Amino acid sequence: MTSTIEMKKLASKNIVSPKGFSAAGVHCGIKHKKKDLAILFSEVPASVAGVFTTNAVQAAPIKVTKEVVYNTGKMQAIIVNSGNANACTGKQGVADAYEMQGLAAEKLGIDAQLIGVASTGVIGEIMNMEPIKNGVAMLAPNAKLESGIDFSQAIMTTDKVMKSTTYATIIDGKEVLVSGTAKGSGMIEPNMATMLGFITTDANIESSELQKALSEITNLTFNAITVDGDTSTNDTVIVMANGLAGNATLTPAHPDWENFYTALRLVSEDLAKLIARDGEGATKLIEVEVEGAISDEEARKIAKTVVGSPLVKTAVFGCDANWGRIICAIGYSGATVDPEKITIKIGGATMVKNGEPTKFSEEELIEILKMHEVKIYVSLGVGGGHGFAWGCDLTYDYVQINASYRS
């Protein structure tokens, strides 16, 4: 293993920046005005890994993309639409998803079994395929940064902002990029979130090792965010690794494995936090850190319970230092706790120490809670487990957005 992890965040790069990737995004008419159809393409078939929704009701594109990931083991492109989830649409929805795959294959001149499909938007409406057909004809993927931006814009629904991030690392003396983009704003309760995430890298790695890494990292990142407690029908994260950086094949035994793994984790964590920050109607990102739990898994469980509590979320929105809501959520999390050992801090201010309330300045706490990022720290004192979760405040606007989503 490398003794020093080499890592650099690149603000000026995006999903097309790793070698050999190109993209496009257009408005085809699924939505009224905004871009709604996108494609991501690799010059060569790429190793692929995927994680998908745990909802028992899964959208038609999930079926198609799982076949590519798990049966073909390689992916060269993925076509994505927003505005219609193609979920709960029966046999017609499955046929439409396969038709999207076929249209993309014809456009790109590659095998359909190398093309994934992803959709996001309204559930339960049959896809209008005419705009899709017209849109595919307009797609002209290229490696310009503007095309990466077009892709990111075309996958958005109620998102207020695009979500992209890129890291560079060194493997075998060669620069390797890992870049990602995602959409997600509401119906966010992983496993996973109402989210689509796409990660590209020019690293050389087999699909099996990439899948193991993504599955582990998902538990620490995408599965550690919550906005509203709903699990979507369409959640998908895809990683494509085309090997064009020219490094030796990566495995955990490779001396630079930690460089790659860390870059993939950081990209995933950035995207997860960007989704939590952009929760529908949200004004604040909430981070909960838990230490001293029985295990890392229990620490993450408690952190996610706290950040997912509607009462905690509304207290943060209202700048109310109501720590009783935090300790209540800790207690009903189902994890092992000793009330007499619990310490709670908001920002740098201690609310509870070893189970006993402490004096604190309401004025100081109000100022902390007014910030755009609010940190809640919990120490349990019962073990060595450590974990994080991210979410957002719950606001009046969340109700308004979701009360009128279809209109």
Statement: the pTM of the whole predicted model exceeds 0.85: no
Check whether 328 has a pLDDT greater than 50: yes
The tokens describing 162, both together, are 């695009």
pLDDT at 229: 45
Is 194 in the active site? Answer: yes
Q: What is the mean pLDDT of residues 366-382?
A: 94
Q: What is the mean pLDDT of residues 10-22?
A: 97
Give residue 169's pLDDT: 98
> What's the confidence (pLDDT) of residue 7?
95
The arithmetic mean of pLDDT across residues 335-339, rounded, is 95
The terminus-to-terminus CA distance of the chain in angstroms comes to 54
The 10 Å Cβ neighbour count of residue 36 is 28
Please tell me which residue in 194, 201, 262, 395 is annotated as part of the active site. 194
Per-residue pLDDT, 179: 98
User: Over the stretch 31-84, which tens digit does the pLDDT of each residue have?
Assistant: 988 999 999 999 999 999 999 887 777 899 999 999 999 999 999 999 999 999
- The model's confidence at residue 126, banded by pLDDT at 50, 70 and 90, is very high
Task: Give per-residue pLDDT as tens, 254-295.
Answer: 999 999 999 999 999 999 888 887 766 678 889 999 999 999
Report how far residue 147's alpha carbon sits from residue 195's, in angstroms, rounded to the nearest whole number: 21
Q: 3-state SS string over the chain?
A: CCCCCCEEECCCCCCCCCCCEEEEEECCCCCCCCCCEEEEEEEEEEEEEEEECCCCCCCHHHHHHHHHHHHHCEEEEEEEEEEECCCCCHHHHHHHHHHHHHHHHHHHCCCHHHEEEEEEEECCCCCCHHHHHHHHHHCCCECCHHHHHHHHHHCCCCCCCCEEEEEEEEECCEEEEEEEEEECCCCECCCCCCCEEEEEECCCECHHHHHHHHHHHHHHCHHHEECCCCECCCCEEEEEECCCCCCCCECCCCCCHHHHHHHHHHHHHHHHHHHHHCCCCCCCEEEEEEEEECCHHHHHHHHHHHHHCHHHHHHHHCCCCCHHHHHHHHHHCCCCCCHHHCEEEECCEEEEECCEECCCCHHHHHHHHCCCEEEEEEECCCCCEEEEEEEECCCHHHHHHHHCCCC
Choice between 266 and 308, residue whose per-residue pLDDT is larger: 266
pLDDT beyond 80 at 399: no
The per-residue pLDDT for 5 is 82
pLDDT at 327 over 70: yes
Q: In this predicted structure, what is the pLDDT of residue 276?
A: 80
Q: How confident is the model at residue 253 (pLDDT cuts 50, 70, 90)?
A: very high
Structural domains of the chain in order of their starting residue, each with its CATH number:
7-275 (3.60.70.12), 285-403 (3.10.20.340)
The region of weakest confidence among 146-150, 190-194, 397-401 is: 190-194
Q: How confident is the model at residue 308, as a pLDDT?
A: 87
The pLDDT score that the predictor gives to residue 185 is 60
The residue assigned the tokens 């999390």 is 333
**What tens digit of pLDDT does each residue of 167-226 get?**
999 999 999 999 999 997 654 343 333 589 999 999 999 999 999 999 999 988 988 876
What average pLDDT score do residues 91-103 get?
97
Question: Which positions ≥6 away from 186 have C-beta within 8 Å?
Answer: 158, 194, 227, 228, 230, 279, 280, 398, 401, 402
pLDDT band at 403 (very low <50, low <70, confident <90, very high): low
Measure the CA–CA gap between 302 and 182, rounded to whole angstroms.
26
